[in-house]
């Protein structure tokens, strides 16, 4: 595993959204997450697609599409036409290259852009997916309003994201590192519901999946422990100590068990 140093602190002090978009492309982060950039992996993505009614010929927007994994999955397994929007330009290039290699050029496309100012036309997609990303957006309401704007009447937005109970969330999980890890800026479940309603959508289904985030926390802690034992400092490029990282992972696992930290799928529809 080859990793180059990343000025983590400097990035956090500049543009947080760009920082996160860049960090999640780093080999160290991908190694740490074992290639699964959101809880539940492909299984939960397909569950989200099922809830949104995505199938053959559906036109889908994937918000914060990263390297294009979800877009490729929906096109390959369900026959959907997918447009991915991603802030990080290098991720867009990687997604395009992967799609071309997989022979999915005609089924998926990717554009560099901000979730709060989408370039898509009004009422132009059948469904919108946003997986484990809304919690990172600076202006969450602007992003959700854009999702609602591009959604066709009768279509669905599915948000899959980390949920928190701030009243019992341990203080260290509100740190800058926890922010990048999708915890510190996450909302309570009712916070996401309120955002969707404020964007003019009707929340019709909520599915809590604490099992998915618990499994991810277990994997991350195991990898951190392995990195520490093997003297392979997975988080060194980010100037973040392994001992502190293991401690945060343990704390996150306890928070999940205590109900302070969770994961949920929310489905919201646009009226016909």
Say what the alpha-carbon torsion angle 29, 32, 37, 41 is, to the nearest 10 degrees. Answer: 160
> What Å distances lie between residue 113 and 21, 83, 94, CA to CA?
11, 12, 15
Flag whether 2 is in a domain. Answer: no
CA 125 to chain centre: 20
Counting the structural domains of the chain, the total is: 1
Query: How is residue 166 written in tokens?
Result: 């701030």
Confirm whether 3 is domain-assigned: no
Q: What is the DSSP string of 48-76?
A: HHHHHT--TT-EEEEET-TTSHHHHHHHH
In a domain, 272, yes or no: no
pLDDT-based confidence at residue 180 (cuts at 50, 70, 90): low
Q: Is residue 129 a part of any domain in this protein?
A: yes
Q: CA 99, 100, 102 angle in degrees (round to 5)? A: 65
Answer whether 128's CB lies under 8 Å from 60's CB: yes
186 against 2, higher pLDDT: 186
* Residue 202 domain flag: yes
Q: In the predicted model, what is the mean pLDDT of residues 183-204?
A: 94
**Domain of 74: which CATH number?**
3.40.50.150
**Domain-located, residue 54:** yes
pLDDT in tens, 219-265: 888 877 777 666 554 445 544 566 777 888 889 999 999 999 999 99
- Domain assignment present for residue 271? The answer is no
pTM of the predicted model, to two decimals? 0.84
Structure tokens at 183: 């915890």
Full domain range(s) for residue 59:
8-263
Does residue 269 belong to any structural domain of this protein?
Answer: no
């Amino acid at each position: 595993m080859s990793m180059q140093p990343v000025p983590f602190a400097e990035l956090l002090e500049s543009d947080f959204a760009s920082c996160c978009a860049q960090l999640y492309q780093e080999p160290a982060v991908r190694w740490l997450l074992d290639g699964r950039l959101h809880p539940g992996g492909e299984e939960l993505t397909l569950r989200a697609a099922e809830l949104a009614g995505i199938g053959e010929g559906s036109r889908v927007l994937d918000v914060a599409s990263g390297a294009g994994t979800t877009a490729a999955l929906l096109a390959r397994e369900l026959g959907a036409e997918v447009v991915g929007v991603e802030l990080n330009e290098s991720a867009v290039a990687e997604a395009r290259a992967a799609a071309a290699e997989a022979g999915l050029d005609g089924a998926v496309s990717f554009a560099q852009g901000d979730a709060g100012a989408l370039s898509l036309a009004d009422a132009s997609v059948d469904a919108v997916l946003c997986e484990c990303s809304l919690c990172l957006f600076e202006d969450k309401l602007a992003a959700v309003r854009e999702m609602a704007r591009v959604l066709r009447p009768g279509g669905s937005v599915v948000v899959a994201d980390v949920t928190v109970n701030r009243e019992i969330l341990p203080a260290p999980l509100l740190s800058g590192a926890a922010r990048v890890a999708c915890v510190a800026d996450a909302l309570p479940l009712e916070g996401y519901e309120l955002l969707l309603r404020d964007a003019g959508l009707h929340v019709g289904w909520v599915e809590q999946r604490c099992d998915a985030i618990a499994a991810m926390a277990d994997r991350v802690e195991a990898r951190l422990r392995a990195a520490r034992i093997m003297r392979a400092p997975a988080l060194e490029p980010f100037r973040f100590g392994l001992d502190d990282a293991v401690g945060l992972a343990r704390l996150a696992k306890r928070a999940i068990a205590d109900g302070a930290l969770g994961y949920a799928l929310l489905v919201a529809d646009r009226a016909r």
